Each structure stands twice: as structure tokens, then as C-alpha cells.
Amino acid sequence: MARFARLWLRTFFQVLWARWRRGPLRPTWSLMLETTVTYLRSDFMELATWPIPEARTTLEGRPLPRDATSRVERTVVADGPLRGEWIRSAAASEPVAGVVLYLHGGSFLFGSPRTHADTLARLALATDRPVLAPEYRLAPEHPYPAQLEDALAALAGLEAMGVPRARIVVAGESAGANLALALALALRDRGEPQPAGLALISPWLDLTSSADSHRRNVAFDYGTAEILRAQARLFAGTLPLDDPRLSVGNADPAGIAPAFLQVGTAELLLDECRAWAEKARAAGVALTVDEPVDMPHAPPFFASVCPQGVAAIDAVAAFVRRRLASDGSNTKPER
């Protein structure tokens, strides 16, 4: 907490001085949004030099907004294929009526239902559907394909408790969105039915981080291509980073569930997401694309500090509600 306070205060005054000299870094950025992005960049760069266990502990202890988490019920599941957390609003329907299976991000090295508690709570509140956030295994202790195995196990666990696959939307952000897409591709390759939909928030589709937006947007996002590649290698094990099992943007997307793709126009992953959207549409995927203007990586993360973040979580929730309200046969893009 002391480290967070020091870094946040230092960042706030740095941003205040910079905005006085040159105005906002992006035209739509408020002081709070710019401070938050700048803080996350400084935090990301520093933690990338730390031993992974120490960085995980620090991220687990980072303070989060409480306005959403205080309005949901969180239930920890400690054992079995559904190990993780259930998050429910007061008005949530029963799981058999529809569930969001949310796969958290964190470069496959970090993260948990606790680090993502704010986003999970907001999604549960905006959808009034139960959200299950699995605590999948992390690299480098557990490289690929441990994460995919755990995601498949969580899906099977939901079905074992009576939730039909057509009542499950698989969602995730960053590495978690990569995992959500990998899950859909694995189901397709096995000849199994798809879930009701895929909600892909800032998906990490190209682990080589070679797209031009990694250079063009580096000043507006939190992270660098070099650090992302180094983290990806810890997840990849012996596989090359461009292997389509890892860089799922390289895989043929034909036959996957209707998908929602959200990517901020100021983020590093913008170009790879746009390239995949073109590829998915050409392959016949029913795809809805949402590009929050000027937003950095994972726009819903910023729902507590700016209206653009609220709109981002609302857009994800609208897709979830539509897919779970349908009978599973509607494959047309929502807009």
C-alpha cells in the first residue's frame, strides 16, 4: 500500500505539470484517466524487473475501487475444475439460465479473480448473470498448454453442474482473451459445439508483438513490445512465439462462436486486433467490433475513472445479454 501511495502521488503531480505545459496526452483524456494510465505504465515497467513471485504478491495487494465489488456476492471455490470465484449481483439469474466464464489477463504470468475483482463485479452487475472466474495455472511454473487445459476443465465443470454450453459466454481480456479464443478453436478442432459467444477484450493475438501499433501507441498505453515478448517466452515453453496455438491470431478462425472484439484505439494491440477482425469476417465469423476512442489496453479497467470505461463495460455486457437471450441460432453480428 505504501508503494502504491508513493507511486500514485508522484505520478499525479508529474501528470499535472505535464498537462499544464502541453495539455492532455490524448484529446479525450481527463486528468484522472491520464494519471491512471501513467501510473499503470510506471508500475508495469518496474514490476517487469522484479522476480515473478514478488510481482504477483504486489499485484494481489494493489487497492481496487470498491463501489462495484461492494454490491456483489463473491464465493470462492477452492477445489475441482471450477476453482476460482463466482461473482453474482443481487438480481443474478440461476447459472443454468446463463453464465459468463471470464478468463483474466496478466500475460499468463500474473492475475487472479482478486486482481480483476472490479471488472468482474461490474460485468456481473451489468449483465445480471453469474460470472465464474477460474484461477487457472500460471507460467513459467506451468507453461502452455496448462492454461488451456484449465479453461477446458472449467467449461466442462459448468456443464457438469447443469449449465448447457449454449448458455455460456466465454469472456476475457488480454491474455485471457487469447485463452478464450484458444478455447473456441480447441472445441472446433475437436468437433464439439461452441459456447454461446466470445467476448474478447483487447485480445493478445500476436505474441511476437510485431505490429506497428506497438511502436505508434507506446506513449499512450502501459507496456512495451520488448517486455511483452519476454513474458510471452515464459508462457511459450519450447514453442515459437508465432505458433498459432500461442499467437491465436495466426489460426484459422472459421467455425468459432459469434464474437465481440473490443480494442482501444490508443493501445499497443490495436493493429493485430484489426487484422484479426478482417480475417474473422472473411472466414464467416459473426463479429461485432467496438473500438473505444483514445482508450488504452483493456478499456473496462478504467470504468471507475472515466465514462469511456463505463461505456466499454456496458458494450461487453450488452453483447453477453444478447447472446444469452438468444436460442444460440442467431449468428449475425449485433451491429
155-205 confidence digits (pLDDT tens): 999 999 999 999 999 999 999 999 999 999 999 999 999 999 999 999 999
Nearest Cα residue to 316 out of 114, 329, 295, 327: 295
* Structural domain contains residue 18: no
* Structural domain contains residue 100: yes
Q: What is the pLDDT of residue 333?
A: 52
DSSP E strand stretches across the chain? 72-77, 84-89, 99-103, 131-134, 168-173, 197-201, 259-262, 287-290
Mean pLDDT across the stretch 35-48? 96
Q: Residue 327 above 60 pLDDT?
A: no
* Structural domain contains residue 330: no
How far, in Å, CA of 18 to CA of 92, rounded?
44
Tell me the pLDDT of the chain averaged across its residues: 95
Mean pLDDT across the stretch 230-250? 98
Q: Which residue has the higher pLDDT, 326 or 229?
A: 229
Q: Residue 326 above 80 pLDDT?
A: no
Nearest Cα residue to 134 out of 125, 146, 143, 126: 146
Q: What is the pLDDT of residue 15?
A: 97
Q: What is the pLDDT of residue 40?
A: 97
Minimum mean pLDDT range among 91-95, 102-106, 185-189: 91-95
* Structural domain contains residue 53: no
Q: How many domains does the chain have?
A: 1
Could you tell me the pLDDT band of residue 334, with boundaries at 50, 70 and 90?
A: very low
* Structural domain contains residue 123: yes
- Beta carbons within 8 Å of 191's beta carbon, 6+ residues apart: none
Residues serving a catalytic function are: 174, 267, 297
How far, in Å, CA of 151 to CA of 266, rounded?
29
* Structural domain contains residue 89: yes
Q: Residue 335 above 50 pLDDT?
A: no
Mean pLDDT across the stretch 270-274? 98
Q: Residue 117 above 70 pLDDT?
A: yes
Nine cell digits for residue 78: 477452492
* Structural domain contains residue 253: yes
In angstroms and rounded to an integer, the radius of gyration of the C-alpha atoms of the chain is 19
Q: What is the pLDDT of residue 2?
A: 85
Q: What is the pLDDT of residue 81?
A: 83
What is the percent of the chain where pLDDT is above 70? Answer: 97
42-86 confidence digits (pLDDT tens): 999 999 999 999 999 999 999 999 999 999 999 999 988 889 999
* Structural domain contains residue 83: yes
Side-chain-side CA neighbours of residue 249 (13 Å): 27
The amino acid that residue 56 corresponds to is: R
Contact yes or no for 15/23 (Cβ under 8 A): no
Q: Residue 298 above 90 pLDDT?
A: yes
For residue 225, give the CATH number of its domain.
3.40.50.1820
How far, in Å, CA of 188 to CA of 257, rounded?
9
Domain that holds residue 112: 65-325
pTM of the model: 0.96
Nearest Cα residue to 102 out of 211, 182, 176, 9: 176
